[in-house]
Structure 1
C-alpha cells in the first residue's frame, strides 16, 4: 500500500469509512490490549523515550493493532512512515522504497518501513532488507500472524526484535465497545449476556469486533434489546481464526496431542471439536489419532490402535456430521487409556543401533537352506523349532553373533504391558536356564 493511497483513505468522508477506521487510535495511549508493550515499562515505551527505534517484528493475531502501533511509533519519533504489503509488493517496488528512503536519509529524515504479512516474502526478498537495515537507511517493522521462527530468515530475525501482540481480552473488548457507543451516541442494544457473546464472536480481533458493532447498529433501532439468540440472528457467527496450512493448525494439533498424552479427555475433546468447527480435514485428525495410539499408548492398550483405525473407517462410511462422533470416541479412548511410549522408544533405539552396526550376518542356524550348497555351508544347522519344545520357547540366539544379545523394549508397569513384562521375565528365565543347561 503506497503513502498516497493511505492519505486518500484518510480523506474519505466519515460516512464512507468503516467504524474500525473511524475509531483507529490517534495516539499510543489510545491503543488497548497491549499494555505489556506500551505501558510504563513496555519495550516500545522505552524505545520512544530514547528517541530511536530498532527494527522490529510484530507477531500477533489479526486485529490486535500491529499496523496502528507501527504508524503511531513513526509519528512519535518523527520518522517518515511508509507502508507496503508483502502480498502485493515485488522486487521492483522494494527497490523504489529503498531509494526513496536513501534520499530521505540524505535530507536528514529517517524512514520506518512497515511491511504487512512480511512472512509472505520469499527468502531472497527477505534478504534484500539486510543491507538497508544494517546501514541505517530505514527501520523495518514487519507484521506477521505466523511464528517468525518458522517463517522468517534467521539473518533477518537476528537484526530485528520480535514483539508479541496479544488478542484482545475481555477488558480490551469492553474498552472498544465503550468507545463505539460514545462515537455512535447510544448504547448497544444488548443484554449483559449478549454483550459478552458479541465479544466472544470477534475471537479477540478488535477490527472484527467493531465490524460486528457497526452491523448491529445498522440492523437495530433505538429501544431495541437483543439477548444472545437475538444477537446471533442479527449478525453472522464469525468463524474462529484458523488457517489449516499455518501456525494455528500446528498449535492446535500439538495441543490435542499433548492433552491426549496428558490423559485429559475433556481438554482433548475441546481441541478436537475446535479444529473440526474451524474446518480441519477429519482425515488429518484421524491420522494423528492413529499416530497417538502407537506413539503414546502402544502395548499398554493394544486396542487403542484398533479404536482409531475403526474411527477412521467409520468416518469414511458415515461422513459428516455423524462420523465426527467416531473421532470423538477414539479421542476419549486414547485420553483415558494407560500410557506407554516403550515401543516408540524401543523402535528409535533399534533404528539407531541398526544404523551404527552395519550389516552383520544373522546366526547361521536361523537361515533357510533352499539349496544343497547352502545346506553344506551350514545354513539352518542346529535350528530348533520352538513348537517342538515343551514351553514353546527354544531360547536360541537370534542376534548376529558379532553383536550379542541387545535389549531395546522395556515395558512399563501400566495397562497390558504389565502382563507383557511378566511374559518377558518368564522368557528371560527360560533363556538363562537353557543357556546354562538347567531344566
Structure 2
C-alpha cells in the first residue's frame, strides 16, 4: 500500500457517489485519505452514509460545472460517468489525472489477476474460473463488475484475483497487468456511450495491454490482437476447441481430448465455449483434469442466465434477463432452439442505440412468436412477422402462456437494458419468474 502514502497529500476528488463511488470513499478514509466527494445529483444515493460517517468531507452535489474539478490533482471517477462529460473532459485537458477504482486497485495489487471482458458471458466465465481455482486449492477472490468492488478485495488474503471488467472500467484503467486476459466476444452494446462501434471494440481490447497471456475467441475476429503470447478458444478452431472423441463431444486442446462436455452440469454451446475460455485463462495455473471435472459437474450456471424457471403443461420457461444486448439474445436462442419453431421469445426494454437487425435470421429460423414490450418494443416488432405488442411483463407472460403448446419453450431474452422499466436486469428477471409462477390465465 506504499502508493497510498505517495498520494496522501494530493487533492483527490471522488466523482460519483453510487455503489462504486461510496466504496472508493470508504477505502480512502480507511487509509487516512480525505477526498472531496462530487456528484451531479443533488441527493445522490450514498448521501445518508456520508452524512452519518464522514460529515467532515468537502462535498459538492449538483451541476458539475460548479464542482471546481480543475482544482483536483486526481479524480477517481465512477464507471457510470463518461469521460466525455464537459467538466471531466476540461479537467483532463488541464492535466488532471482521471482514474477509476480498478486503476487504483492495479497500482496497489501485487497478486496475479485473471481479467475478463466481453459483451456476453463475462459473469459466467469469471464465476466458473473462480470455482475451478477454488477446487484446485487456490485462495481466490472474485469481483469487479460482479459482486464485490475491487478495492474491497484488497483486504482479503488471496492467491489470485478473478475480475470481470466492463468497457467503462477499462476506459480508466492503464496499469493492470493480468496473468491472463480475454475479450470473450464483442457485439453492439453501449452505443449510447461510445462514438462508434469501433470505439466500443477498442475499449474492450485495452484489457490485453500488459497481459502476460492474451486469450482470444477464434470465432470472433473483433477479439483478436497482435499482442503475444496468445491462446485461443472456439467451437471448431482455436487451441481450445470442441471435437468428437470416441463418439462423444469433448473439450479439446490442440486436438487432444481433455474431458467430455457431458461433464458440465449446464448445457448449450455457449456454456461449452465459456468452459473453453476458462481453461485457456487458467492455463498458467496448476489445475488438473480432476479439478475441472469436479468444478464443471457442480457448476449450475447463474441466476437470470438461461435459468429454467418452471415447466407448466409441457411448456418450459427460461429466464435470461441478463441478455441485455443482441449478442446475448442470439446465444440464448441458439442454445435452446430445436429443428422446429418451438421458441416463444419475450424481448424489450432500452436497446441503447444498438442495431437489432442481426436478430432477424434467428427469429425467422427458430422463433414461433416474438412478444415485445418496453421502450424499444416497436423496433423489435419490426423484426418478425410473428411479433406481438404488449404493455408490460404481466401481459407478455400471459400472452406467452396463451400462445404456447406442449413442447414449446418460453424464453425471456430481452436484447435490451432494463432501465426503462426496472432498476436492473435482476429485478426484471424476478418479475418474469413471479409472472410465470402465478396461476395460469
Normalising by the residue count of structure 1, what TM-score does the alignment of the two structures yield?
Answer: 0.25
Q: Which has the larger radius of gyration?
A: 1
Whichever structure has more strand as a proportion of its residues is 2
Normalising by the residue count of structure 2, what TM-score does the alignment of the two structures yield?
Answer: 0.25
Whichever structure has more helix as a proportion of its residues is 1
